[in-house]
Structure 1
Amino acid sequence: MKKVVLASGNPGKLKEFSASLSAAGIDMVPQSALGVPEAEEPFHTFVENALAKARHASRVTGLPALADDSGLCVHALGGAPGVYSARYAQTPDGARSDAANNARLVADMAGQTDRRGSYVAVLVYMRSPDDPRPIVVEGSWDGEILETPRGTHGFGYDPHFYLPDLGMTAAELPLEQKNVLSHRARALRSLLQALRSEFDQDRGRGEPARP
């Protein structure tokens, strides 16, 4: 198994990534287990923040690193909340909550007829902190923003994220179904494909076998 540091201490992300990437021979280790502090995320795009997090984790540990940055982009709000999704309604003292973020989203969408929104996830895999060609993949999940929340599953904006084809919000979906359809699941599938292709090419060149 190839050890890779996950540039996150989120146990939910660790479980989701580990389940998918173990099939490619990758052993995910959360950065918190290796004493890596959280990286700064000063950028306005998902890809820049994911690159910063992966580079930071790889530099501190000397291991390959995987990072993600994700959020909700709403058309009528010019792409907001975007990279600020988790702290959309953050208070001056740093307090944040899903309830406050959703309340602000509903308020900002008042009177809007264009209800389109997309969950977006960008994953970055860096072989080293100076990797000039990191693997970068993106997954998106399109829906509409509801004024009234529905469902009790999920987290974040899920109760307001409506999927017209299914007639349900993300918070009404069974977890197993969400983990197949979500933006992060789509990005993970693209990452797996890219990693397997790279490992196959390495073996074809006669380099030491990788998982």
Structure 2
Amino acid sequence: MRTLSIPLAFGLALSTACGGAAETGKTRASDPSGRPPAVEGLIARNADPMCGAGFRWASDKCVPGDDERAAAADKKKDVRERKTEGGLLVEDINVGTGREVRAGDIVKLHYTGTLADGVVFDSSRSQGTPFEFRVGQGQVIKGFDRGVLGMKVGGRRKVTIPYQLGYGIEGAPPRIPPKATLVFDLDLIDVM
């Protein structure tokens, strides 16, 4: 109770001093006291002073709120996504800072392969050994080959492969059914 009372008292004091800006999320153009609008800006960014930017108080906890600036910042952090010819969907979860993969390179990575419904059919992680192959040499399915191109060491990528770039109409029974869309979560360890 003591830890909650200090932020609550602080929030209420700021709200009162700013004319209720914390409650409405609006700021006023000027303050009759002559104080600079910095405090009002702080309150306006925080839908509720107890929760912080991008959150509001609901029932008994902080939940994501309607703060536009926080939403815009989150959007910038969102996954970088692109669709290639043939329907391959590439989503960079985390762009690495190391060397970039090109055709002919040998890559070392960890992967987890799932069907569209989330069922895991293969994983280098569960085997405890990273997977290595030469890019562009037909050692893996086309979608996997194309999905690692441009990836940088240290990066994480999600690649969604349509059946045409995967195991085709027949699939690879029993683990991969016919016309299966495949999803690979990739972590690039090294490029050689």
TM bin (shorter chain) = under 0.3
**Hey, which of these two has a bigger chunk of strand by percent?**
2
TM-score with structure 1 length normalisation?
A: 0.20
Computing the radius of gyration from Cα coordinates, the structure with the larger value is 2
